[in-house]
Amino acid sequence: MAKVSPLMILPPVIFGGLAALFYFGMGRENPNELPTALAGKPAPALEVEALGNLPSFDSSMLADGEVKLVNFWASWCAPCRVEHPTLMQLEAEGIPIYGVNYKDQPANGLGFLAELGDPYTAVGQDPKGRVGINWGVYGVPETYLVDGEGRIITRVAGPVTQRELASRLRPKLDELAAE
């Protein structure tokens, strides 16, 4: 009987390990959704620069007792235009939305809001993307639901469409309202 070399066994073992890792990694509730490590944790600092003469904000507004959204957006972002009507709808419903103009020119951000409307309770800018890094922003748009104590409840990576609103945000908003 021939002796089996460990080098012959190693590739199938490595392949099996990687296959198991991929299989269990894709076992999330929604494998297309980007996970956030911040869910259930206090929101990171939100120190932004003013955007023109628009009302600005700081981290103290996150724990003001109100449920709110924090939306990272940019004028150069096509999906931000897609989500804008939904944000306008949420603003009309009285949900506070804090906007962070992400890696954008101030004049372009102001022009975007002048053209499409301003759904934000307050808005600031993050010209270098440092605030976005702390929040775990992959790209814009990204929207975070924050409870009245300043904890992140969930994140929508991508545009807040009517489908996202109905399937993800509205149930969480209703749950928070019932508490």
| 79-121 pLDDT per residue, tens | 999 999 999 999 999 999 999 999 999 999 999 999 999 999 9
Cis peptide leading into residue 96 (ω within 30°): no
Predicted TM-score of the model (pTM): 0.81
What average pLDDT score do residues 2-18 get?
A: 78
| 32-75 pLDDT per residue, tens | 455 667 888 999 999 999 999 999 998 889 999 999 999 999 99
Taken in order of first residue, the domains within the chain and their CATH numbers are 35-178 (3.40.30.10)
| 119-132 pLDDT per residue, tens | 999 999 999 999 99
Residue of 28, 24, 26, 27 whose CA lies nearest to 39: 28
Amino acid occupying residue 179:
E
